[in-house]
Amino acid sequence: MIPRVLEPEVMDTPDDASDYDSMDHSAVNRAFAADFFSACPHPAGPVLDVGTGTAQIPIEVCRRHPSVRVHAIDLADEMLKLATINVAVAGLSDRVTLERVNGRRTPFADGQFAAVMSNSIVHHIPHPFECLGEMVRVCASGGVVFVRDLMRPNSAELLEHLVNLHAAGANHHQRQLFADSLRAALTLAEVQTLVVELGFDPATVKQTSDRHWTWSAVVA
């Protein structure tokens, strides 16, 4: 297993935001939204998106459900600038609220959200337990926590293969961002250990692609 190499917790340069936003995440985003609604078909209230980046996930989620409202948070100003543009262009400014908030220490009340979702933020956090705990805290009883992220490869050869396979048409900076994210990601076993510490069954965490794990759980 390759060691975990952390990357910056906040991607907050114009180049980072622009290159991230311009990468083709469409298939991954569609899969995320479809799987989220399989776990939570009819959210009975607002949904929190933790680490929204440029808001591609909230946009896809709102396109698939006519009444869902998403409160989307991120700590990177440059990401949120592009998110504001993307949401406006999608015509969803009345359904997607953007706010600069640290996902490890949110200002929200216990059980405030009907569901909490997050895509690809965990690998940015040195010690993710606190952030995952916040997601559970602000999710209503009976609500769903749905988290997906990259999974650290078990060898340098596999990492290179994944970069070549999934970032073949990307520029050098985009390929480097993807490789760095894979190195910073957690293993399946590491995530399972974290959710057990939060009081959940490790079986709620599963490998869901050649490079992703997903945690889907109902909050008691």
Q: What is the pLDDT of residue 1?
A: 86
Q: What are the residue boundaries of the structural domains of the chain, listed by start?
A: 14-218
Residue 27 has pLDDT above 80, yes or no: yes
For residue 23, the SS3 value is coil
Its pTM stands at 0.95
Instruction: Give the pLDDT mean for 136-154.
Output: 98
Does domain 14-218 fall under CATH 3.40.50.150? My reply is yes
143 DSSP assignment: E
Instruction: Give the pLDDT mean for 37-60.
Output: 97
Residue 12 has pLDDT above 80, yes or no: no
Res. 10 pLDDT band, cuts 50 70 90: confident
Res. 20 pLDDT band, cuts 50 70 90: confident
Q: What is the pLDDT of residue 33?
A: 98
Q: What is the pLDDT of residue 35?
A: 98
Cα–Cα distance for residue pair 218/214, rounded to 1 Å: 13
Q: What is the pLDDT of residue 143?
A: 98
Q: What is the pLDDT of residue 25?
A: 85
Instruction: Give the pLDDT mean for 99-123.
Output: 97
Q: What is the pLDDT of residue 44?
A: 92
Q: What is the pLDDT of residue 13?
A: 82
Averaged pLDDT of the chain: 96
